[in-house]
Amino acid sequence: MKKSSKEIWYLWGSFWSVVIGLIVSKVYLTWAFLFYTEGYQFWGFNSWTNDRLWMWATENHQFFMVLTLTIFISIGCLFVKFLIDNGVIKHS
């Protein structure tokens, strides 16, 4: 089955979105784990009433990564759709 160039562009957009999403989520999780283990989690304890994102990310790091990748893949596909609709990417 031959893929059209439009599908290939969506695959490239999804691939690069996964790469960028993995980098962003790993950097954020590394910072969150270090912040939590170094004892800085009590800074500004009374200034914010909801759960902090970094605390939630350290407790649910697999779900955080899946959520981050889903958001980045959605943005990547929307970006490719925008480029195709505006004629920046030519497809057959």
- pTM as predicted: 0.74
Does residue 92 fall inside a structural domain? no
Does residue 45 fall inside a structural domain? no
Reported confidence tier of residue 7, pLDDT bands at 50, 70, 90: confident
Does residue 90 fall inside a structural domain? no
Question: Which residues have C-beta within 8 Å of that of residue 54, sequence separation ≥ 6?
Answer: 28, 31, 32, 35, 36
Does residue 25 fall inside a structural domain? yes
Number of structural domains found in the chain: 1
CA-to-CA separations, 78 to 10, 37, 75, in angstroms, rounded: 9, 37, 5
Does residue 69 fall inside a structural domain? yes
Does residue 11 fall inside a structural domain? yes
| pLDDT (tens digit per residue) in 43-58 | 555 555 556 777 888 8
Q: Provide the domain limits for residue 11.
A: 5-40+50-85
Q: What is the C-alpha to C-alpha distance for residues 38 and 32, in angstroms, rounded to an integer?
A: 10
Q: What is the C-alpha to C-alpha distance for residues 66 and 72, in angstroms, rounded to an integer?
A: 10
Q: What is the C-alpha to C-alpha distance for residues 56 and 75, in angstroms, rounded to an integer?
A: 23
Does residue 26 fall inside a structural domain? yes
